[in-house]
């Protein structure tokens, strides 16, 4: 039937057309099916997003990590009126915790570097150290950093009377809450020096736990206690110093080499 239909159509037409479609004449009505033409910016492929970079680093220098596992709250809660003092988070999850102390030097590269790294960090800030420019730390908080307490003036607390220790801990937490709207719940004693009075004062100031560290980073070098490898649950300490970029990248590379992922310390506290 299809051959007969074609022959009948051909007989009617003045010019033979066969069964194939012919180009429409200039005056023919527009076809129902139109060729889509690009219109506006959406038609072009999106431009590649600029890769972050700064003085002494580029995006390629920053190790990439997958998502951290769902956290488990394993740091012991305060007991008998004293907070727990922890050197390593007691977890077997493949995570490590990066902490940055003090805040005396406001490194110009820190905000952009933290934003480009997309890793959680905890900042134990000394209020006298940051009083001259508390706004410097707001972009770091926007990038995911969480601010915790590290005293007012960075004294060695061990051996000080209860009232002096409580003043240093409570006073710093209150001031940080005024600047950043969130009151700290974690505490790190300066130099890691503490006694039972420290842990009692921290509890009375509303802290949930106090923390030491297992690795330190300075001048781009990671210093280990024991094994020369970051272990699950390890807490890494660095500072706001001139070598901030080198220290930050060295810490992340050490975590990456160990097959671990940065996680947020606060998420593991009961």
Per-residue pLDDT tens digits of the chain, which is 270 residues long: 444 343 333 433 333 333 333 333 333 333 333 333 334 334 344 444 457 888 889 999 999 999 999 999 999 999 999 999 999 999 999 999 999 999 999 999 999 999 999 999 999 999 999 999 999 999 999 999 999 999 999 999 999 999 999 999 999 999 999 999 999 999 999 999 999 999 999 999 999 999 999 999 999 999 999 889 999 999 999 999 999 999 999 999 999 999 999 999 999 999
Count CA within 13 A, CB hemisphere, residue 222.
Answer: 25
**Spatial separation of the C-alpha atoms in residues 188 and 202, rounded to whole Å:** 10
Tell me the sheet residues that pair with 223. Answer: 216
**Spatial separation of the C-alpha atoms in residues 200 and 194, rounded to whole Å:** 10
What is each CA distance from 219 to 1, 21, 247, in whole angstroms? 87, 75, 6
In the numeric block, the tokens 């960075």 are attached to 154
- Please report the beta strands in the chain, taking only residues with DSSP state E, as ranges in sequence order: 53-54, 57-58, 84-86, 95-102, 122-125, 146-149, 186-187, 209-211, 215-218, 221-224, 235-239, 261-262
**Spatial separation of the C-alpha atoms in residues 148 and 186, rounded to whole Å:** 6
Domain definitions of the chain by residue range: 72-268
If we measure between CA atoms, which residue out of 56, 187, 63 comes closest to residue 110? 56
Fold of 72-268: TIM Barrel (3.20.20)
């Amino acid at each position: 039937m299809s051959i007969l239909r074609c022959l009948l159509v051909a007989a009617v037409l003045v010019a033979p057309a066969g069964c194939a479609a012919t180009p429409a004449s200039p005056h023919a009505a527009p076809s129902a099916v139109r060729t889509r033409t690009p219109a506006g910016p959406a038609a072009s492929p999106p431009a590649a997003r600029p890769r972050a970079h700064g003085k002494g680093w580029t995006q390629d220098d920053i190790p990439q990590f997958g998502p951290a596992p769902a956290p488990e709250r394993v740091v012991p809660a305060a007991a008998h009126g004293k907070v727990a003092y922890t050197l390593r988070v007691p977890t077997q999850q493949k995570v490590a915790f990066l902490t940055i102390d003090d805040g005396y030097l406001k490194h110009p590269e820190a905000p952009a570097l933290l934003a480009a790294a997309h890793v959680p960090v905890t900042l134990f800030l000394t209020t006298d150290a940051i009083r001259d420019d508390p706004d410097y730390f707001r972009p770091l908080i926007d990038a995911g950093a969480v601010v915790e307490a590290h005293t007012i003036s960075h004294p060695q607390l061990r051996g000080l009377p209860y009232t002096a220790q409580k003043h240093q801990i409570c006073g710093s937490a209150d001031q940080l809450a005024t600047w950043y709207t969130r009151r700290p719940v974690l505490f790190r004693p300066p130099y890691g020096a503490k006694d039972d009075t420290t842990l009692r004062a921290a509890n009375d100031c509303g802290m949930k736990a106090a923390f030491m560290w297992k690795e330190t980073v300075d001048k781009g070098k990671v210093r280990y206690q024991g094994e020369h490898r970051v272990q699950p649950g390890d807490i890494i300490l660095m500072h706001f110093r001139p070598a901030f970029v080198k220290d930050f990248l060295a810490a992340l590379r050490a975590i990456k080499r160990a097959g671990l992922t940065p996680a947020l310390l606060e998420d593991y506290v009961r």
